[in-house]
Amino acid sequence: MLRQIEGSHAIAESVARCRPEVVCAYPISPQTHIIEAIGVMVKEGTLAPCEFINVESEFAAMSVSIGASAAGARAYTATASQGLLFMIEAVYNAAGLGLPIVMTLANRAIGAPINIWNDHSDAMAVRDSGWIQLFAETNQEAADLHVQAFRLAEELSVPVMVCMDGFILTHAVEGVDLLDQEQVDRFLPPYEPRQVLDPEDPVSIGAMVGPEAFEEVRYLAHLRQLDALDRIPEIAAEFSEMFGRDSGGLVRPYRLEDAETVIVAMGSVLGTIKDAVDERRDAGERLGVLGITSFRPFPLEAVRQALAGRERVVVVEKAFSLGMGGVLATDVAMAIGTTTLHTVVAGLGGRPITRTALLDMLERARTGRLATLSFLDLDEGVIARERARMATVRRSGPFAENVLRDLGRPREDQA
């Protein structure tokens, strides 16, 4: 039943219907509404049996989830940004131990400077951790992906992170059709752990593994990710067949048929991009969009097929690797080989990605003026002044502060 609902609440209800048994909560914006809502459900008894644990840090949140999962419980938590980084050691550990924890990542920038708004830097920081990372374009997809995530995680004994853009999705009220309990139960069988801490069958979990076997352990984990490349579309197909709705999968093509230029992106920005593409398509430009749903495992083959023979690929991404460039773009580059590839870094720290800016960028691409790496809506003036200052003052101090000071100062040249 379609309902107008805040994204966070949609996720909370969706997760609740997955019958999580241990849920850890540590507040960090913009994930808080999800956890708050689950907390209410546990406290009022509508979600039971479930242990809702208010932990003292994200590190503890993931650690409690590890313990709960290893002891055979379906475990869920949510975080964002700094929180993800604070738990990062445990994030790797959960994957290493093969524990099928599901976590919502309400994507948010990473400081300093501290910034609560959306980008994908947090998700990129753990891309090598061994977690499956699925990116939702809409709240509908986010809600559906959580149901699929538990199924996927538990089938493969791999933790799954459902990434949704902080505020843009989490705090957006829009129509979402949530599966009811009966539907979820039909799709998601009870958790049967691959291994469990049990006095009747004692095992030691978490051994120290040296050079003699570590590489094999890692390779096996990689193969498990490759297994996911098969299972993700299968599960999405099953979901679609059961509920009549396309959610998930590896990639999401849009108007690719005859596209010469393809924009690649992840998350909610795809909606804006599609609007921009539609506008220019109307003007006769042959543009298409490829949304990446499964960032890890990265669907190299699907991306290759989608982008094969295109004239130009533009990756618009909300994160980048300092000193290198695009993160998603690097992966895309690996898939497409020689096609001209542009990386457009956009929306960092929550900066709006406007249709205007996108159209401007596409125009530059068409006319060959788009750099290999560019930053959407970058204030070149600020950059130039700070660079100049840094060149003259050897110890120029933290440039973030300088930039703020610079932006706050009334300036003749801008007046």
Partner 1 sequence: MSETRVHFYQVGSFAVGNRLLSADERTVQSDRRRTNSIDSGHRACQGCGEALGARYALDAAMRVTSGQLVAVNATGCLEVFSTPFPETSWQIPWLHSLFGNAPAVATGVAAALRVKGRDQVRVVGQAGDGGTVDIGFGTLSGMFERNDDVLFVCYDNEGYMNTGVQRSAATPPTARTATTDAVGPEPGNAFGQGKDVPRIAMAHGIPYVATATVADLHDLERKVERAMSFHGARYLHVFVPCPLGWGAASSETIHVARLAKETGIFPVYEAEYGEVTGVTKIRRQAPVTEYLRLQRRYAHLFGHPGRPDVVARLQAMADANIARYGLLATEEDE
Partner 2 sequence: MDRPFAITLDVGTSRANHTGSWRIERPVYVDRLPPCNDACPAGENIQGWLYHAESGDYEAAWRTLVQENPLPAVMGRVCFHPCETACNRVQVDEAVGINAVERFLGDTAIERGWSLPAPGPDTGHTVLVVGAGPAGLSAAYHLRRLGHAVRLVDSSPRLGGMLRYGIPAYRLPRTVLDAEIDRIVALGVQVATEHPVLDIEAEQRAWGADAVFLAVGAQLGKRVHIPAGDSTKVVDAVSFLHQVADDDPPLLGRRVVVYGGGDTAMDAARTARRLGATDAVIVYRRNRDKMPAHPEEVEQALGEGVTVRWLSTVERFEGGRLVLERMRLTPDGLPEPTGEYDELDADALVLALGQDTDLSLLEGAGAVTVSNGVVEVGHQMMTTQPGIFAGGDVAPSERTATVAVGHGKHAARGIDAYLRAETPARPERHALASFDRLNTWYYADAPRTRRPELELVRRQTNFEEVVRGLTEDNALFEARRCLSCGNCFECDNCFGVCPDNAVIKLGPGERYAFNYDFCKGCGICARECPCGAIEMVPERI
Determine if 190 is a binding residue for partner 1 (CB under 8 A): no
User: Which amino acid, 12?
Assistant: A
Which residue, 187 or 191, is less far from partner 1 as judged by CB?
191
**Cβ 394 to partner 1 shortest distance, Å:** 34
Interface positions, 83-142, toward partner 2 (CB under 8 A): 96-98
- Which DSSP category does 49 fall into? S
Among the residues of 45-137, which ranges form H helices? 58-70, 81-86, 88-96, 121-125
Q: Which of 3, 186, 194, 387 is the binder for partner 2 (CB under 8 A)?
A: 194
Determine if 107 is a binding residue for partner 1 (CB under 8 A): no
Interface positions, 191-230, toward partner 1 (CB under 8 A): 197-199, 201-210, 212-213
Determine if 44 is a binding residue for partner 1 (CB under 8 A): no
Determine if 410 is a binding residue for partner 1 (CB under 8 A): no
Interface positions, 146-165, toward partner 2 (CB under 8 A): 157
Rounded distance between C-alpha atoms, residue 415 and residue 411, angstroms: 6
Closest CA to 99 of 191, 211, 35, 168: 191
Which residue, 180 or 216, is less far from partner 2 as judged by CB?
216
Determine if 223 is a binding residue for partner 2 (CB under 8 A): no
**Cβ 13 to partner 1 shortest distance, Å:** 20
Distance of CA 213 to the CA centre of its chain: 31
Rounded distance between C-alpha atoms, residue 57 and residue 41, angstroms: 22
Closest CA to 138 of 13, 270, 311, 229: 270
For 269-285, letters b (16+ CB in 10 Å) and e give: bbebbbebbeebeeeeb
Q: Which of 203, 322, 391, 415 is the binder for partner 2 (CB under 8 A)?
A: 203
Determine if 28 is a binding residue for partner 1 (CB under 8 A): no
Residue 344, classed as helix, strand or coil, is: strand
Determine if 200 is a binding residue for partner 2 (CB under 8 A): no
**Cβ 21 to partner 2 shortest distance, Å:** 20
Which residue, 55 or 71, is less far from partner 2 as judged by CB?
71
Distances (CA, A) of 16 to 12, 20, 23, 137, 275: 6, 6, 10, 21, 33
H/E stretch holding 32 reads helix 32-44
Determine if 88 is a binding residue for partner 1 (CB under 8 A): no
Which residue, 11 or 156, is less far from partner 2 as judged by CB?
156
Q: Which residues of this protein are in contact with partner 1, per CB under 8 A?
A: 21-22, 24, 49-51, 53-57, 59-60, 63-73, 75, 89-90, 93, 97, 197-199, 201-210, 212-213
